[in-house]
Amino acid sequence: KHWWTKSAPLPGLPYNKSPNPLGDIIGLFTTPPVDYFSQHVLKHGKISQVLLGPLGRLILVADAKEIEENLLKQAQNFDKAGFVRAAFFCALPEGTVSLPTNEQWKLHRRMMAPSMSPAFLATRMNRISANVQKLLDIWALKSNFSLQSNGVFECDDDLERFSMDNILEVLFGENMHCLGSTYDYLLGLDVSASHTTGGVFKIDAPTPQTYQSLRYFLKGMGKALASGSAQLVYFRLNLTPSWRSARRGSYRFVAAKLGEHQEHGNAGPQDSYLDRLSARYPGGRPKDVSPTGFQDEILTYIVGGADSTATVICWMLRYLTLHPQVQIRLHDDLSAAFQMTDKFSVSIEDLQGPRFPYLDAVIHETLRLSNVSGISPRDALRDVAIAGVHIPRGSKVLFLTGHSAIHDAPPVEGKNDIASSTFYPERWLVKDPSGADAFDLNSVASWPFGYGPRGCPGQRLAFLELKALLLAFSLTFYLEETQETKTSHVEMSLNLRKPSGVGIKVRKWSGPKLELQKV
């Protein structure tokens, strides 16, 4: 079909009527896409279309029933959208995100599954706990060093380093010392010098060269994804020595890790995903996966696991700052259920069981409202009907999981004043037979990790990181609101919806009596 037939509005679906031949493109340049689409749905209803001039049209679906039906039950009618796969293809051609839903993709997903099994992740919990402890130690130091900024310090970088260290622990059984190098740097910091920018304590702690390469590599992919024209972005990136060097550095790092592992085999220093794989397959990987496919997949997990988790934690800290009563209840509940020690350690059984209902509620409410990655983009592989509307084969369909979870949450019983868009963790709680609060996952239809076969394979690890951190954090610190921590501006960072410039101010809880005390 010609581009003008693909760009013409589809009969039966509402859209913005604009004399501008670029249609909604202008709006998408000025507003984060996920928010632009939300406004569109509020104006035109749960199934509508966005016109992008010569770039075609996007069908928006924000109806919970249709999302479930099409992403899961009718998943065979769709594939992961070509424009998303293209954004990763030029960098990681054989990684899961770039592959269509074919036999190779299935093989890759099966190969990576042991990295997320509960039995394996249980062995990683001591390392994740140690990273949580290191992060809290860093924040205690920063709090003490940030007197000039009234105790407010930047935490974005620390969170990126935290999630990077965790994913490396899982894959390789050791981390890159990202948090460790921040901690060491802080210990040697000249505190008499000023480290305040815009009223916030900020430092630029050195990191290993490989970490910088991985971040630059990731940034390039984010640019390609946001651009709508991945090939053009990669053409330009490939001309720059910094991108080429970042890509080379990232690949070398992974190749070196795989090489080291092959040399040591199972006699390596730690239990890791690579060890599990070696135990399962002679040669360390399934024979139908090529060496480059294996490398791409490992890098895909590093890329997928780093910023997504860090961004959700940024939102979590923001919501807690704005809702002191949630912090107080969380601290109270957790103090009664868990003993915090100087060396934090928590097991997977503790985190996955029903022991901390309010903690689960806060995490699910954060994931629901933050809408970090609330779109599942698909291409229709055949003619389909969505809510009775004919959608032709080849259409780009965006399932707006985030919008639906925010706007269609059921009313909270006995609390008519609580809007669906309000941060209210209690909406996830029900009474158990003894009358105590229990967490109920079915309280709200929310799919922060996407849905169906192309949903996120890393969600189990993400939950463990979020829960472990929130548990230790809430027992240690209280977040205080100040002028500098009030910012409510949202930015798109690597295509994730993120609160911009998160500064935090922490105070230490003195004990179960909930008195606050300076660190």
Q: Which residues are annotated as a binding site for heme?
A: 456
For ligand HEM, which is the closer residue by CB, 286 or 455? 455
Q: Is 519 exposed, middle or buried (0-12, 13-18, 19+ CB in 10 A)?
A: middle
Query: What is the C-alpha separation between 402 and 312, in angstroms, rounded?
Result: 13
Residue 448 beta carbon to ligand HEM: minimum distance, rounded to whole angstroms: 5
Q: Could you give the C-alpha distances from 222 to 90, 256, 513, in angstroms and in order?
A: 12, 25, 45
Query: What is the C-alpha separation between 152 and 505, in angstroms, rounded?
Result: 5
Query: What is the C-alpha separation between 152 and 146, in angstroms, rounded?
Result: 6
For ligand HEM, which is the closer residue by CB, 23 or 222? 222
Residue 484 beta carbon to ligand HEM: minimum distance, rounded to whole angstroms: 26
CA angle 201-207-212, nearest 5°? 110
Which residue in 309, 91, 93 sits closest to 219, CA to CA? 91
For ligand HEM, which is the closer residue by CB, 146 or 295? 295
For ligand HEM, which is the closer residue by CB, 106 or 431? 106
Query: What is the C-alpha separation between 209 and 295, in angstroms, rounded?
Result: 19
Count the alpha carbons within 13 Å of 17 in the hemisphere toward its beta carbon. 2
The DSSP annotation for 117-139 comes to: -HHHHHHHHHHHHHHHHHHHHHH
Q: Could you give the C-alpha distances from 256 to 66, 179, 216, 243, 261, in angstroms and in order?
A: 45, 21, 19, 20, 8
Count the alpha carbons within 13 Å of 171 in the hemisphere toward its beta carbon. 29
Residue 402 beta carbon to ligand HEM: minimum distance, rounded to whole angstroms: 9
Residue 26 beta carbon to ligand HEM: minimum distance, rounded to whole angstroms: 26
The residues that touch ligand HEM, with contacts defined as CB under 6 A, are 80, 96-97, 167, 300-301, 304-305, 308-309, 312, 372-373, 376, 448-451, 454-458, 461-462
For ligand HEM, which is the closer residue by CB, 167 or 277? 167
For ligand HEM, which is the closer residue by CB, 135 or 372? 372
Residue 160 beta carbon to ligand HEM: minimum distance, rounded to whole angstroms: 13
Strand partners, 390: 385
Residue 517 beta carbon to ligand HEM: minimum distance, rounded to whole angstroms: 32
Extract the annotated binding site. Answer: 456
Residues 201 and 195 sit within 8 Å (Cβ to Cβ): yes
Residue 312 beta carbon to ligand HEM: minimum distance, rounded to whole angstroms: 4
For ligand HEM, which is the closer residue by CB, 77 or 96? 96
